[in-house]
Amino acid sequence: MRVYVLNGVNLGRLGTRQVDVYGLTSYADLVTMCVETGRELGLDVLVRQTDAEHELVGWLHAAADERAAVVLNPAAWSHYSIALRDACALLRGPLVEVHISNIHAREEFRHHSVVSAVATGVICGLGVDGYRLALHHLARRLSAETAAAGS
């Protein structure tokens, strides 16, 4: 079962960017954690990060075409990118929106995500553990869907 873990703008700077907000985990460590967690759960996890909005939209289109599940940290784009929201609405598999920080406890402009309305679920404020939780949720969900389709 393919799961895309997609990360938006500035997330490649994890471990060095605002460590008081985002923690000390590096982006490379996040990738390793997601891939290893996926392997343990029987998921084929593909992790990507971009600072180019059009590239992220293209990856979402690919996930939609594959009917793949997605874990998405849209970063700052979550607050204003209608293009990203519309690409998420095309997904045929489940979408879990993840934010490392608690966006509701930060600046007011971060309190709203245009992506949340089309997401299956949202995890925020649990640090990089949010990715692990999202993958566990998707593994259970996809397994249940596969079992239901087989009966």
Task: Return the bridge partners of 46, or none.
Answer: 4
Give CA–CA dist 124/54, Å, rounded.
24
100 is in an annotated binding site: yes
101 is in an annotated binding site: yes
Q: How many domains does the chain have?
A: 1
Query: Is 22 in the active site?
Result: yes
86 is in an annotated binding site: yes
Percent of the chain at pLDDT > 70 equals 97
Using only C-alpha atoms, the chain has a radius of gyration, in whole angstroms, of: 15
Percent of the chain at pLDDT > 90 equals 77
Q: Which domain holds residue 31?
A: 2-150
Contact between 119 and 88 (Cβ < 8 Å): yes
What's 106's domain CATH number?
A: 3.40.50.9100
Q: What is the predicted pLDDT for the residue at 18?
A: 75
Task: Tell the burial category of 83 from Cβ atoms under 10 Å away from its Cβ (0-12, 13-18, 19+).
Answer: middle
Q: What is the predicted pLDDT for the residue at 17?
A: 81
Q: Which of 4, 27, 80, 99 is catalytic?
A: 99
At 4, list the tokens: 């895309």
* pTM, 2 dp: 0.93
Query: Is 54 in the active site?
Result: no
Task: Band the pLDDT of 24: cuts 50, 70, 90.
Answer: confident
